[in-house]
Each structure stands twice: as C-alpha cells, then as structure tokens.
Amino acid sequence: MIYLKDIVKTYNKGKSNAYEALHGISMEIKDGEMAAVIGTSGAGKSTLLHILACIDGYDSGEYAIDGMELGKISEKQMAQVRNEKIGMVMQDFALVEGFTALDNVMIPLDFAGRQHRRKRKERKERALEMLELVGMAEYADKQTNNLSGGQKQRVAIARAIANNPSIILADEPTGALDSATTKEIMKVFRDLNEQGRTIIIVTHDPTVAEECSRVIRIEDGRIVKQETPC
C-alpha cells in the first residue's frame, strides 16, 4: 500500500541555514499492517509523518500509495488522496473546544468532496457510529473542553476514521496521556487494525511501539533498524 524510496527532505533549501531532515528514506508498509516509527526528538519522525500524510512535500525520491506516485499528481489530487485515504490523529487532539464531540467528528464529513458528501442526517448517523466504535457515544453532546485527555483522544480517533480512510497516521497519540489511558487508546488502535485499517504510529515511547507488529527506528533522518517486537 505505502511505498517510499530514497525520500530526501531539506528545510530552508538554498539558504545558509538549510537543513536536510531526511536522508534517503526507503520503506514499505503493507495493507493491514500496524507499524511504529520510533526515535528521539529531532530524528525526523514528524517530518516523515507529514510526508506520509501528504501535508508536506519532499525534494527527491518516490512516494506511492496504492500504486499512485504522489510526486506526479496535482495539488487537487493530493488533497483528494489526503481526504479519502488518510486519517490523522495528533498528540494535542486538535479538536474544536467549543464544539461537542459529535460536532468534531462531523467536521471531515461536512468538508468531504461533493461526490462523497452525505445528507446532514446521514452525516450525523455516521458520526454517532464512529463515536460508538471508540466507546464515546454517551458523550456525543458534551463539549470537548469538558472531556478528559483520554476521552478527547477517542473523539479525535473517531473523527480520523469518519470518512472511512484505509490509512490512519498517528503523531505521538499517547504523548499527553497517563500509562493507564495509553493502554486504553492503544487497544482502540489495535481494534481498528483488526478491522483491516493500516496504522502507522509515530512515537518516542517503546511501550507503545511494542504494541505494533513492526517497529521502524529512525535516527538522524535515516532508518537504522526494522524489527518485529517479541
């Protein structure tokens, strides 16, 4: 499903403070895999994730999803791939605090392309289904600023899967959570993975990485090791 070959990413290219964040990254993520990308701060994890999420571009190399090389498509097509195939979960939840849990989950449904947009009643039903899936249906009408960290992350996951993406990318999704809540959130990810979704989790936490089927270690912008946890 996901294929990267010799990906190079340089910030401030052509300037005196140019910095090469990724130095020829190559990897493959198969359909239905749950992989962790692990490394210390500044290793290049978030840069790699932003490229995978089609949020950021790259200078050279190849990146393909389902055989479509993303370096050869338009910005409009890139946005379509991002909206239809990829769901993002962030460490800080990135929820609209004045909205209810239901309103937050409906956001990607409200902004879906015209050909995929549902009627409002259908969008609401879909959002409620996603909240039910992550154990948050009873909090649908509660404003997110009144939820705990773990509850907010569950809402964020529900929002990420609202458009039924095949790929879920998570950037330090347990970084702001305690150990007990981390276990609960990782169970949600495992359940989603068992349903067939491909999941990539960027983390610095080895206990989170151990929950995944493969661990990809990155240091100084290079993949240095790939292994299967015992």
Residue 181 sits in a domain whose CATH number is 3.40.50.300
Decide if 17 is inside a domain. no
Q: What is the residue range of 199's domain?
A: 33-46+76-214+222-227
Average pLDDT, the chain: 91
In 3D, which of 38, 116, 51, 105 has the Cα closest to residue 83?
116
Q: What is the mean pLDDT of residues 181-190?
A: 94
Decide if 21 is inside a domain. no
The sign of the torsion formed by the CA atoms of 71, 76, 79, 84 equals negative
- pLDDT bin (cut points 50, 70, 90) of residue 230 is low
Decide if 158 is inside a domain. yes
In 3D, which of 145, 134, 114, 107 has the Cα closest to residue 195?
134
Q: What is the mean pLDDT of residues 7-33?
A: 94
- pLDDT bin (cut points 50, 70, 90) of residue 113 is low
The answer to whether the CB of 185 falls within 8 A of the CB of 6 is no
List of residues 6+ apart from 29 with CB closer than 8 A: 1, 2, 35, 198, 200
Decide if 123 is inside a domain. yes
The sign of the torsion formed by the CA atoms of 55, 17, 21, 62 equals positive
Decide if 178 is inside a domain. yes
Lowest mean pLDDT among 64-68, 73-77, 100-104: 73-77
- pLDDT bin (cut points 50, 70, 90) of residue 5 is very high
**For helices 179-194 and 149-160, angle between their N-to-C axes, nearest 10 degrees:** 20
